Amino acid sequence: LGAGTGRNAELMARRLSERGRIVGLDIGPEMLAQAQARFRDRPNVAFEKRRIEEPLPYRDEFDKVFISFVLHGFVQEDRLRIIANVHQALKPGGAFLILDYAHFEPEEAFWPVRWAFRHAECPLASDFARRDWEAILAGQGFGDFCSRHYYRGYVRLLRARKGTR
């Protein structure tokens, strides 16, 4: 989700079997054009222009859904819609992988992080970092959480598995 230029899809495609497929979603025409050009010879990799906070046509189709530094840029109501879309799109037991800010208080962060949140980052990022995403995802039908933290603990790769509601 938020496929951008397709760089992350390129990394994933290296591990994709012949039977696997990647579907990237983005709204930016320039980004989609770059992503599509990257994969013009790969029929099992496709990119679609879709808003991820609006209803999506996928039902129990995917083993994994990946989103990288996109979710924090939405208001909470839209984040919850995106999570509901992911839950609907994943097969039972499928993994939702979120690479984004970890759970912390931006005003108490290491000074360069604090400065970045005040002056350079999207205004919604602080709200995102303050929220307990495992609890939110659990309330949306996800569980079996696993996290890896990076950059002094300020960035996290969070994996959540789809359960049954």
d(CA 36, CA 47): 6
Condensed to tens digits (0 to 9), the pLDDT of residues 109-149 reads: 999 999 999 999 999 999 999 999 999 999 999 999 999 99
Count, residues in the chain: 165
Q: Structurally, what CATH architecture does the domain formed by 51-162 represent?
A: 3-Layer(aba) Sandwich (3.40)
Q: Are strands 22-26 and 90-101 parallel, antiparallel or unpaired?
A: unpaired
Q: Where are the domains of the chain?
A: 51-162
Nearest to 164 by CA among 55, 103, 88: 88
Q: Are strands 62-68 and 142-150 parallel, antiparallel or unpaired?
A: unpaired
Supply 74's token pair. 């939405």
Condensed to tens digits (0 to 9), the pLDDT of residues 19-31 reads: 999 999 999 999 9
